[in-house]
Amino acid sequence: MPLQTVEPQRLYRQIAEQLRALMKSGEFEPGSRLPAERDLAKQLGVSRPSVREALIALEVEGWVEVRTGSGVYVLKRSGRTHASDRKIPASEWGPLELIRARRVVEGEIASLAAQQAKRKDVQAIRAAIDQMTEDADQGVAPLAGDRAFHTAIAQACGNVVLLETVQTFWDARNGPLFERLGDYFESVPSWRKAITEHESVLESIRAHDADGARAAMQQHMDKSHGRFNASWRRANSS
């Protein structure tokens, strides 16, 4: 069964479905190593990040196993059940695609916040970063502070649609795909890097520097995207 070019609609799901079909048909047998990520991307006519999202989905659902430094291997499915296997909701966004969308939207939100933020907004952003720092110092993933940071910036814009959009974006990270990808890289050092990037956003908003706030938020999203990608490349050396 040859691989087919796919259309960009929930792209990772379409890729995962094709790979799953090949595993079911025996094209990829249990115990075998899947083709290199770059080769799959070329055959499917998609980007490597889209392939990564598909492979993570298959890992979450128990179809493949990622072996650090070796690659992605097909698992035996017949009569196999495992408590860790999960079904990916059809509505779930791909984590890497989500970060790229957040770069566009939240960059503009940060710019608007820099123009409109009042003292109470700056204080709320500052408090969120302090909460993140306190949690990171204790070795706790500072998720509450991170959500509060992005929410406070959107709140400063005075637009409920923007606020709810940012909250929806952030809450999407609670899905199984994002959680699994986060397992590869989230650590105290990675969170400290995010906190430093947040400080840069706050500095620009406090200075009412709209262009600087946009650039700082976009840089934060770019570095976040890079951290996710780098962690996956280390786990999947293909």
Are the C-beta atoms of residues 113 and 123 closer than 8 Å to each other? no
Bridge-based pairing of strands 71-74 and 64-67 is antiparallel
At what angle are helices 95-116 and 160-171 packed, to 10 degrees? 150
The pLDDT of residue 187: 79
Grouping H, G, I as helix, E, B as strand and the rest as coil, residue 86 is: coil
The pLDDT of residue 69: 74
Distance CA(121)–CA(143), nearest Å, equals: 19
Mean pLDDT is highest, among 13-22, 47-56, 109-118, for: 109-118
- In CATH, the number for domain 11-74 is 1.10.10.10
Q: What sign does the CA torsion over 155, 157, 158, 159 have?
A: negative
Q: Which tens digits make up the pLDDT trace of 200-228?
A: 999 999 999 999 999 999 999 999 988 87
> Which amino acid makes up residue 59?
E
Share of the chain above pLDDT 70, in %: 88
Q: Is the pLDDT of residue 83 over 60?
A: no
Distance CA(62)–CA(60), nearest Å, equals: 5
CATH, domain 99-235, list 1.20.120.530, 3.40.50.10310, 3.40.30.10, 3.30.70.360? 1.20.120.530
Distance CA(74)–CA(64), nearest Å, equals: 5
Global pTM value: 0.81
Return the domain boundaries, the chain.
11-74, 99-235
Q: Which tens digits make up the pLDDT trace of 177-201?
A: 888 877 766 778 889 999 999 999 9
The pLDDT of residue 173: 86
Q: Which tens digits make up the pLDDT trace of 144-187?
A: 999 999 999 999 999 999 999 999 999 998 888 888 877 766 77
